[in-house]
Amino acid sequence: MQIELHNVHKTYEGAQPLHVLKGVNLSIEKGEFVSIMGASGSGKSTLLNILGILDNYDEGEYFVDGQLIKNLSERSAARYRNKMLGFVFQSFNLISFKTAVENVELPLFYQGVGRKRRHDMAMEYLERLGLKEWAGHYPNEMSGGQKQRVAIARALITHPQIILADEPTGALDSKTSVEVMELLGQLNREEKVTIIVVTHESGVANCTNRIIHIKDGVIGNIEENSRHNASAFGTTTVMK
Amino acid sequence: MRLDIDTYKEIADSLLRNKRRSLLTGFGVFWGLFMLLFLIGGGAGLKDLLSKTFSGFATNSMIVVEGQTTKPYKGLKEGRWWDIDYRDVERLKMMVPELDVVCPMISTWGSSVVYGAQTSSAGIKGVEASYKEVETVNLKYGRYINEVDVAQERKVCVIGKRIYNELFPEGGDPCGKYIEVGAVQLRIVGVDFNSGMMSINGQASQSLVMPITLAAKLYHRGSKVDLLCLTGKKGVKMSSLEPRLRSVMGRQHLFDPTDKPAMMVLNTEQIFSIVDNLFRGLNFLIWLVGLGTLLAGAIGVSNIMMVTVKERTVEIGIRRAIGALPQEILMQIILESVSLTIIAGSFGIVFATFMLRALELIAKSTFQIGFWTAVAAMLLLAVLGVVAGLAPALRAMHVKPVDAMRDE
Ligand SMILES: Nc1ncnc2c1ncn2[C@@H]1O[C@H](COP(=O)(O)OP(=O)(O)OP(=O)(O)O)[C@@H](O)[C@H]1O
Ligand SMILES: [Mg+2]
C-alpha cells in the first residue's frame, strides 16, 4: 500500500471550529489512477492537502510507503513535497513573472540542480507536452490548457511517485479537459505514477480507474471504474 | 540557499517588477545616507575651516596684561595703574616652574613701512626669540628673530605675508634687504606666511616682528613691557596656574591678588574648549539627524517589503509547495532588502561625495569624507538591509504551502 489513512480527522479552528474530516480511512496502491468526488465543501481539497503534506491533520495516521507522516519538520516535509509529490491545481498556480520554462525549472532549483541541466530538463518536459514554442512565454500569454500543461510539466520534472491534482480541469473547457485527463491517464499508464484527482465533474471522474466518494467528512462508496462507464452522461465525452 | 545567477536574477526580478515602488523606497535610504555623509563631511570641513582660523597658536597659552586696580591694597587706593616689567619674566619663570615660555611683548599700531617706492602699514611687535613657541611661525624665507638679535639689539625684522606682498609685489627672497620703519632702517631676516586669524596684537600677516630690546629702545619704553605671553609645560592646565600668577605679580606690583581687573588674564585653553564643545554638540546633532533620516529610510524599506510579502503570499506558497525550505524563503526576502538598501545607499554615497566635492570647490577647504567612512557606510547599509528585511522575511517564512491554494 502506497498511501494509507487511518481515522484521519481535521478541524479548522476559528470563531466557529469546523470539523471537516471526521475519520477518513483510505488506501491507495502504487500506480493507481483514482478520483475523489463529493459535493462542494465536503472536504475534498482538505483531504488532498493532507495527502500532499501541504497541511497537517489533527488525529489519526497517514502513511506514505509505510512511513508515518505526522508532525514532520519543515525540512523533511519540504523534501517529501519536492522529491515524492507533484501538484496540479485548478488555478494553475504558476508564478506570473516567470516564463513557462522558468516555472518548470523551479522545483529543480530548490533541489540544487545546476542551471544548465535544469534548463535542459525543463525544455525536454515542455517538448513532451507539446509546449516547446511556448517556453519563453509568460503565463498571462497562454491559454488555460497550455498553463495547465506547464503546471503538469512542473509537477513531473522531479519524477514524483504521486501526482495530486485538485480540480485540474476546473478552469478548462471540455475539449481541453479531455486532453488534460488523457495526458494524466497516459502518464499513469506509461510511467506508473500514482495519480489522485479531486473533481466534482463526473465526466472527469469517469476517466479514472476508481472513484472515491466523500460525504459528510467520511469516505462513502468507492466505485471500481476500470471500464470507464460510470458517468451518467455517457462514456465517451467529458461533460461540463 | 544556492547563490547562483538565478538567485540574483530572482532578486532583480522582484525588485524590478515594481520599479516605481522600489525607486521610491530606495529613495528613502538614498536620501538618508546622503544626509548622513554630507553632514559628516560638512561638519568635519567646518571644523577644519575653524581650526585653520585658530591654527598658529599654542593651545595651552595665556596672555597677561596689566589693568587698573579696583580694590585698595596695603594703603594704596584703588584706581591705580601699574606696569609689567621686563624683570617679571625671570621672576615668573622662577616662581612658577610649570611655565615653559614666558615671553614679553612690546607693540605699537599702524607704523608705516617703506621699501623703495612701496609702502605698507604694520603692527610692530617687539618680542624675544621664544615667541615662536606661542604663535606658530610659518617661514617662507629666512629665519626668525633669535637670541643673539635680542641680546645685541640688532636692527633686524621678520615681516608678515601682507607686508611682504605689498613691499615686494614682484616676489622673490627679500632677506638682507633694508626697509624703513619710521626713522630707522631694519634688515629683513625672514618672512612669516602664517595666516591664522588668531594672534596677539594684530594678525601675523600684517605684523613686523623685531627684537624686544630694539623695540624698547626705538619706542622709549625703558624696562616696561605691554604684555606677557605664557605657555605651560606639557600636561599643565593653564587655568590652574592663574591664582599663583596673580599672587606673584600682586606681591611685586602691590595689588590685591583677588582683584581681577587689576591684571587681565586671557586663557586660550578656554577659547579652544568652547570651540571643542561647540563641535561636540554639532557632531552629536549631525549623527542624530543623519542616522535618524537613514533609519526612517530603512523603516520605509521594511514597510514596503512587508506589503510586498503580503502581496506575494500565493507565490511564496507555490515555492513552498514545490519544495522550498522556510529558510530559503527567509534568505530570499532578506537578500532583496539588502540589495535594495545597498544599491540605493551606494547612490547616496556617490551623490554625497559629489556634493562635498562641489562644496570644496566653492569653499576651498576639505569637506570630503574618508575612504573608510564610505566603507563603514557600506557595512552600515548591509546591516540596515538585514534589519529592515528581518520582519518581512519572518512573515514570509511563516507562509504555509496551503496559503497558495486559496485564491483570494
Ligand atoms: N483554511 C480554512 N479555514 C477554515 N475553514 C476552511 C479552510 N479551508 C477550508 N475550509 C472549510 O472547510 C470546508 C471544506 O473545504 P474544502 O476546500 O476541503 O472543500 P471542497 O470539497 O474542496 O469544496 P469545493 O468543491 O468547493 O472545492 C469548507 O466548508 C470550507 O469553508
Ligand atoms: Mg476544493
Positions in chain B whose pLDDT score sits under 70 = 1-4, 53-58, 196-199, 406-408
User: Quick one: pLDDT at residue A237?
Assistant: 45
Of B6, B14, B17, the CB nearest to A109: B6
Query: Among candidates A119, A80, A117, which has minimal Cα distance to A99?
Result: A119
Chain A within 8 Å of B278 (Cβ-Cβ)? Answer: no
Whether ipTM tops 0.90, in short, is no
User: Quick one: pLDDT at residue B103?
Assistant: 93
Is any ligand 1 atom within 6 A of the Cβ of residue A45? yes
Chain segment B190-209, per-residue pLDDT in tens: 999 887 666 677 778 889 99
Chain segment B42-58, per-residue pLDDT in tens: 888 888 777 776 666 66
Asked if A49 lies within 8 A of B17 by C-beta distance, the reply is no
Chain A CA closest to residue B324: A110
Chain A within 8 Å of B21 (Cβ-Cβ)? Answer: no
CB B104 within 8 A of CB B84: yes
Cell of A9: 480527522
Alpha helices in chain A (DSSP H): 44-51, 74-83, 100-111, 115-128, 144-156, 174-191, 202-206
Cα of B101 from ligand 2 centre, angstroms = 96
Chain segment A48-93, per-residue pLDDT in tens: 999 999 999 999 999 999 999 998 898 899 888 888 999 998 888 8
Whether pLDDT at A235 is above 50: no
Round to whole Å and give the CA distance between B28 and B16. 17
Of A54, A79, A110, the CB nearest to B401: A54
Cα of A46 from ligand 1 centre, angstroms = 6
Is any ligand 1 atom within 6 A of the Cβ of residue A38? yes
CATH topology of domain A29-53+73-224: Rossmann fold (3.40.50)
> Does the predicted model carry a pTM greater than 0.80?
no
Chain segment B350-384, per-residue pLDDT in tens: 999 999 999 888 877 788 888 888 899 889 989 99
B320 vs A contacts (CB less than 8 Å):
78, 81
Nearest ligand by distance to the CA of A38: 1
Is any ligand 1 atom within 6 A of the Cβ of residue A200? yes
**HSE toward the beta carbon, residue B256, CA cutoff 13 A:** 17
User: Quick one: pLDDT at residue A236?
Assistant: 45
A110 vs B contacts (CB less than 8 Å):
319, 322-325, 328
Chain segment B206-255, per-residue pLDDT in tens: 899 999 999 999 999 888 999 999 988 887 888 888 899 999 999 899 99
Is any ligand 1 atom within 6 A of the Cβ of residue A44? yes
Asked if A95 lies within 8 A of B315 by C-beta distance, the reply is yes
Is any ligand 1 atom within 6 A of the Cβ of residue A49? no
Asked if A55 lies within 8 A of B319 by C-beta distance, the reply is no
Cα of A195 from ligand 1 centre, angstroms = 22
Is any ligand 1 atom within 6 A of the Cβ of residue A42? yes
Shortest distance between the Cα of A107 and any Cα of chain B, in A, equals 6
Nearest residue CA, atom 24 of ligand 1?
A: A40
Chain A within 8 Å of B107 (Cβ-Cβ)? Answer: no
Contacts with B257 (C-beta within 8 Å, 6 or more apart), sequence order: B243, B246, B247, B249, B250, B251
Task: Please give the single-letter amino acid code of residue A218.
Answer: V
Query: What does the H/E/C string look like for B344-387?
Result: HHHHHHHHHHHHHHHHHHHHCCCCCCCHHHHHHHHHHHHHHHHH
User: What percent of chain B clears pLDDT 90, i.e. is strictly above it?
Assistant: 39
Chain A within 8 Å of B4 (Cβ-Cβ)? Answer: yes
Nearest residue CA, atom 5 of ligand 1?
A: A12
Q: How many CB pairs under 8 A join A and B?
A: 69
Is any ligand 1 atom within 6 A of the Cβ of residue A41? yes
Shortest distance between the Cα of B325 and any Cα of chain A, in A, equals 6
Round to whole Å and give the CA distance between B382 and B15. 17
Q: How remote is the C-alpha of B391 from its chain's centroid? A: 42
Cα of B407 from ligand 1 centre, angstroms = 12
Mean pLDDT of chain B: 87
Shortest distance between the Cα of B405 and any Cα of chain A, in A, equals 8
Q: Mean of the pLDDT values across residues A123-137?
A: 92
Is any ligand 1 atom within 6 A of the Cβ of residue A36? no
In degrees and rounded to multiples of 5, residue B243 shows phi and psi of -60, -40
Mutate to test the interface with A, among B2, B8, B19, B405 (most CBs of A within 10 A): B405
Round to whole Å and give the CA distance between A192 and A2. 13
Shortest distance between the Cα of A158 and any Cα of chain B, in A, equals 10
